[in-house]
Amino acid sequence: MNVNLSSEFKEKYTNLLGDRAPKLFSAIETESENAFRINPLKPGYKTLTESLERPIEYTDIGFYGDIDGNSIDHLSGYIYSQEPSAMYVAEVLDAKPGETVLDLCAAPGSKTTHIASKMASEGLLVGNEINYKRAKVLSSNVERMGIRNTVVTNNSPKDFEKGFNNYFDKILVDAPCSGEGMFRKDPESVKYWSQEYVESCANRQKHIMDSAYKLLNNGGTFVYSTCTFSPEENEENIDYFLNKYPDMQIVEIKKYPGMEDGKPEWGNDNQNLTKALRMFPDQFNGEGHFICKMQKVGTAENTKSRELNSGMKKEDTQLFDKFIKQNLQENPYSNYLHIADYLYNPASLDSRFKKLHVLRNGLKLGEFKKNRFEPDIAMILAIEPKELKIIYDLSDDQFGKYLHGESVILEKQPDFNNKWIGLSYQNKLFSWGRYSNKEIKNVYPKGLRR
């Protein structure tokens, strides 16, 4: 492959790396290693078509290999394609069930969904993205992976400062950056690189870090990461941050073979930067990445939520109760949030979220339409098979036709008393089906059809 590194880029890193620089340039010209994560939120999550014979050392759910984006494993949220180096970021953050966590620059959702898998649907995870189109992609990936405890927002980091100071136990800033570490996966990005662009990214990152500091509770953990080699966006920014906020301390990160210490000589000779971590593609089987873990000194403040009213009308409650009684074994949902015609099982009822642009608050259950309730695909992607009264497993032919938008015609009248049934393929739930008179009508979202 031909990445066409600029002479300005080569000169910069020759000055920084000396004799090692040609090895880095050569590595950038080689093919990337593909990888994927499996999703422990799904039942039987290791039962896959993809091979699990090449595990990634630093995560229990990561594997080297290719995936098929049209496979049932992908469509039903059992797997997520992710670059190997990037998988270590959520492992370093180490979110726990019950914590309050913020992924401040979250699209397209690789790290948000990884964090969610470690939280086991307990606690609150907020995935934020300032760009609306990218925030929608983030929301769709959260949906596909069957995640229940995430609020997806479309805001600037500063918007959170109006109500969420000292709110989060853990914060990740996977900062928008110059992307040098991803040049071989995205050769087109090389065209946009310049030293001026690097410096503008570094300046923007400082502002994001300033917001993250205010939002982090005392005693909380802050992980900063980038997919760039640039000292300006990495060691220099961390040195700036630590000098500005003396109550922030770097925490040592465990380093696996091929991972390297951060470079104090690239950050005003701050020796604590050796506790940070770098991955270069000439030494590590992945793309370029920088990770630094920090902790805020102090005792956590109490950040009690200000509860919203669910907004459920009596008649809508009755319609939803009727749907549950007909189609589920029992009601697995304890809280509701009714927004316009849509019903959610919310990740949070904290009224502070009313001040933000929220794209998704927890699990979207469905929509009220003319005296009926229609379930959303998010609900079936998050549900346990044992919670459904009826599941119909499609054949190869039926599955292919259903993905194209066709209904399923049954030869015999089945014993279906239910209007809504769960559809699966290879025993993996992926859609609702609406049954009527020997026909399972297609309700698969048009945007997902193949």
Annotated binding site for S-adenosyl-L-methionine: 105-111, 129, 174
Bridge-based pairing state of the strands 100-103 and 124-128: parallel
Residue 168 to residue 60: CA distance in whole angstroms: 26
Give the tokens for residue 182.
């991803």
Burial class (CB in 10 A: 0-12, 13-18, 19+), 19: exposed
Question: Alpha helices, DSSP H only, in 145-218?
Answer: 195-215
Give the tokens for residue 250.
């770097």
* Catalytic residue status for 227: yes
Bridge partners, residue 125, by sequence: 101, 150
Give the tokens for residue 123.
């606690």
Say if CB 36 and CB 56 are below 8 A apart: no
Residue 393 to residue 335: CA distance in whole angstroms: 30
Which is nearest to 257 in space by CA: 286, 234, 229?
286
Q: HSE (CB half, 13 Å, CA atoms) of 183?
A: 27
Residue 45 to residue 334: CA distance in whole angstroms: 26
Say if CB 251 and CB 201 are below 8 A apart: no
Which is nearest to 294 in space by CA: 339, 331, 248?
248
Bridge partners, residue 126, by sequence: 102, 151
195-215 and 235-244 helices, crossing angle to 10°: 40
DSSP state of 182: G
Say if CB 58 and CB 10 are below 8 A apart: no
- What residue numbers does the annotated binding site cover? 105-111, 129, 174
Residue 71 to residue 355: CA distance in whole angstroms: 39
Q: Which whole-number Å values give the CA distances from 29 to 22, 34, 287, 357, 415, in the listed order? A: 11, 15, 12, 41, 59
Say if CB 115 and CB 91 are below 8 A apart: no
Catalytic residue among 177, 201, 227, 292: 227
**Residues with active-site annotation:** 227
